[in-house]
Amino acid sequence: MAIQGIGGGGFGLGGGGNSGNPGGTPPGGNTGGPTGPSGGGNTGGSAILNALNNSVSVGELSANDVSTDATPIIPAGAYDYGSGKVFTAFTVEDIVEGNTQRVTRGLWSGNVGELTSFWTSSYQSATQKEYYYEIYNGDPTDSTKEAQFSIAYGHYAGSGSLGTNEDSPSNAIYSQFQQVLLPSSQTTFTFGSVPQDDVYVISINRARIKDKLDPGNWELVLSGSTGETLRLVDDSGDTNQLGNSNKQAYNVVSGSLLNGVQNEDEIFGAVYPQFGIVVLSAAALDASASLGTVRTSNTDAQNHGKLFTAISGAAFEDSANGFQARSEEEVKSTFFFVRAKNAEYNFSNNPSYVTGSNGKLNQQTFVGDSKSYITTVGLYNNDNELLAIAKLSKPLLKSFSNEILIKVKLDF
């Protein structure tokens, strides 16, 4: 038996149909459920009305049902002839807004916190690779492997790629991220006080970052062409930030997750947590990691391939040099108090509940004292559309002699 649907202020026990109650729309206005089924056997809703109007006792009514081989209409103690409803409307007191929690997880597929395997995709066309590389956590031909992030190179004048100015891939990359990340009044990336003619961009797959990249919980290691190893983090944990974890951007500096910021004065770029994007200074990487950026005009230098080699090479040399990162997500909770009163939801719509063409109760012990077991809570909207399902750890016995209160926690 399924119990309860919410609908903008409504709930009801689904699957717990009534046996012997007159059809009718349950209370709750527009949030009410569908019309309830009529009683089985030879006695219908009119028998209930007669019982109420003429003061017929429950015992007499049950005896009449037994003598006519019909399903009883009102079991002992049930005087609410509208108790056979399928949905019940929530009231204001039934819904309580919970807290918002900050949850962090490993950024990469499977909630892994460190990525040590880096593969480019053979599915990308030659034209696509002029703009960016899509990086996977394994062989892309393996269906279990997924795209994790992409790498691109941008130059304000289009150098390092075929074409000139706005016709070149590097110019398109620079302009795209400048428009997405910078204020409308700023057309050039500036790190510290130094304008940047060209940049490297790491854009993390949207499915990975949830709400945003967790500031202060990522570390990127680059291996230079001459053997240098450069570790990069952001400065969100620096005392100068005053504990502000909601900034739009943080500086990228040298350091590690283990030892913190090494040098906050040397800025290598900026990280934009809400976008999951890291923008790095090409000039700074050339100086500290010997990246060897090519800035020749109208040349397909594939500079983003150099950054890929620096990232994958560091992890190849030492598995401790992987790309570590975590995602951050705010989870809001709402509590729904599902109340089943003693006269409600004591029957089931399960076909095994009745037998015969007259709908006679299958268990004779239910005559005059019907029972059901609640296993599921369904939450519905105003149109009686199922939105969420909550499963109970074990079935709960429901009868006319007890009431049930179930607290449902909905996280979203």
SS3 267: strand
Specify if 103 maps to a domain: no
**Could you tell me if 72 and 152 lie in one domain?**
no
Specify if 26 maps to a domain: yes
Mean pLDDT computed over 272-301: 95
**Could you tell me if 233 and 358 lie in one domain?**
no
**Cβ–Cβ contacts within 10 Å for residue 224, how many?**
18
**Could you tell me if 339 and 203 lie in one domain?**
no
**Could you tell me if 115 and 247 lie in one domain?**
yes
Residue 366 confidence (pLDDT) above 50: yes
Q: What is the pLDDT of residue 60?
A: 67
**Could you tell me if 45 and 137 lie in one domain?**
no
pLDDT tens profile 369-407: 788 889 999 999 888 889 999 999 999 998 888 999 999
Specify if 400 maps to a domain: yes
Cα separation, 127 vs 132, whole angstroms: 9
Residues 221, 325 contacting (CB under 8 angstroms) = no
Residue 279 confidence (pLDDT) above 70: yes
Q: Tell if the pTM clears 0.75, that is, is over it.
A: no
**Could you tell me if 158 and 294 lie in one domain?**
yes
**Could you tell me if 272 and 372 lie in one domain?**
no
Cα separation, 133 vs 140, whole angstroms: 13
Range of weakest confidence among 85-94, 105-114, 281-290, 353-362: 353-362
Model confidence at 355, in pLDDT bands (50, 70, 90)?
confident
pLDDT tens profile 314-331: 999 998 999 999 999 888
Specify if 119 maps to a domain: yes
Boundary residue ending a domain (291, 324, 357):
324
Specify if 395 maps to a domain: yes
**Could you tell me if 191 and 48 lie in one domain?**
no
**Could you tell me if 285 and 374 lie in one domain?**
no
Cα separation, 87 vs 396, whole angstroms: 18
Boundary residue ending a domain (302, 324, 346):
324
Q: What is the pLDDT of residue 66?
A: 62
How many domains would you assign to the chain? Answer: 2
Mean pLDDT computed over 291-320: 94
Of 176 and 372, the one with more pLDDT: 176
Mean pLDDT computed over 156-180: 93
**Could you tell me if 319 and 338 lie in one domain?**
no
| Cα–Cα separations (whole angstroms), residue 61 to 57, 79, 367 | 6, 12, 11
pLDDT tens profile 188-246: 999 999 999 999 999 999 999 989 999 999 999 999 877 789 999 999 876 554 445 56
Boundary residue ending a domain (299, 324, 349):
324
Q: Which domain holds residue 386?
A: 2-96+332-411
